[in-house]
């Protein structure tokens, strides 16, 4: 069975990775206004991605883990699922807190007309830490959590989960909706 959940979420990871690269490129050029705009959309898109996973994927996996996992099967145990989901949730908290800090600093820099070499370098270092942790996080999701729905759920449940995830991923804050629609055409 084609893992529609895996494809949907991995495609979103790729799109988010591109946005993160844009933020870094604009910071490297010291283009604070564009870096801020790119960071703002990245933060919103990542928040939507995280919300989709927290509201739909993780509960589906946790529910299936409570009934489907056995020590004798080739599937991960309920304890393994619990530990992976706890790690992913911890990462989600880290990303949102760090990005909120970056947004606050960048908003102040965007308003100021002065050169802020040290602050920009600090932002680039923070961004590198976020990117590194995001890479590890995505690898864990893509090698484990995203593969589990087809192992644990029937085709109809996977399709319903995919639809709920897709709907959540499209539920961007209104200020981004028009920009997103233009870029998809």
Domains of the chain: 4-184 (1.20.120.520)
Q: Report pLDDT for 112.
A: 76
Instruction: Identify which of 70, 62, 37 has the alpha carbon closest to the alpha carbon of residue 149.
Output: 62
- The burial class, CB within 10 Å (0-12 / 13-18 / 19+), for 78 is middle
Q: Report pLDDT for 181.
A: 44
State how far the Cα of 92 lies from the Cα of 123, in Å rounded to an integer. Answer: 19
pTM of the predicted model, to two decimals?
Answer: 0.89
State how far the Cα of 101 lies from the Cα of 126, in Å rounded to an integer. Answer: 10
The token pair at 146 is 């995203």
Q: Report pLDDT for 103.
A: 94
Q: Report pLDDT for 152.
A: 84
Q: Report pLDDT for 182.
A: 42
| DSSP result, 29-76 | TT-HHHHHHHHHHHHHHHHHHHHHIIIIIHHHHHHHHHHH--TTSSSP
Q: Report pLDDT for 177.
A: 67
* CA–CA–CA angle 85, 91, 94 (5° rounding): 145
* CA–CA–CA angle 174, 176, 179 (5° rounding): 130
Q: pLDDT of the chain along its 185 residues, tens only?
A: 568 999 999 999 999 999 999 999 999 999 988 999 999 999 999 999 999 999 999 999 999 877 765 555 667 788 899 999 999 999 999 999 999 999 999 988 888 767 778 888 999 999 999 999 999 999 999 999 999 998 888 899 999 999 999 999 999 888 876 554 444 43
User: Is the alpha carbon torsion for 152, 156, 160, 162 positive or negative?
Assistant: positive
């Amino acid at each position: 069975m084609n893992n529609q959940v895996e494809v949907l979420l991995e495609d979103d990871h790729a799109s988010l990775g591109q946005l993160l690269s844009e933020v870094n490129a604009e910071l490297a050029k010291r283009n604070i206004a564009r870096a801020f705009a790119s960071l703002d959309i990245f933060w919103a898109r990542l928040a939507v991605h995280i919300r989709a996973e927290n509201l739909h994927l993780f509960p589906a996996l946790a529910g299936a883990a409570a009934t489907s996992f056995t020590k004798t099967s080739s599937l991960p145990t309920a304890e393994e699922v619990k530990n992976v989901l706890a790690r992913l949730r911890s990462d989600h908290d880290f990303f949102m807190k760090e990005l909120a800090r970056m947004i606050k600093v960048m908003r102040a820099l965007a308003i100021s007309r002065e050169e802020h070499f040290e602050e920009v370098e600090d932002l680039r270092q923070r961004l590198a830490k976020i990117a590194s942790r995001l890479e590890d996080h995505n690898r864990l999701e893509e090698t484990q959590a995203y593969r589990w729905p087809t192992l644990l759920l029937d085709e109809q449940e996977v399709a319903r989960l995919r639809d709920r995830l897709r709907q959540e991923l499209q539920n961007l804050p209104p200020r981004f909706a028009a920009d997103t629609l233009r870029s998809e055409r």
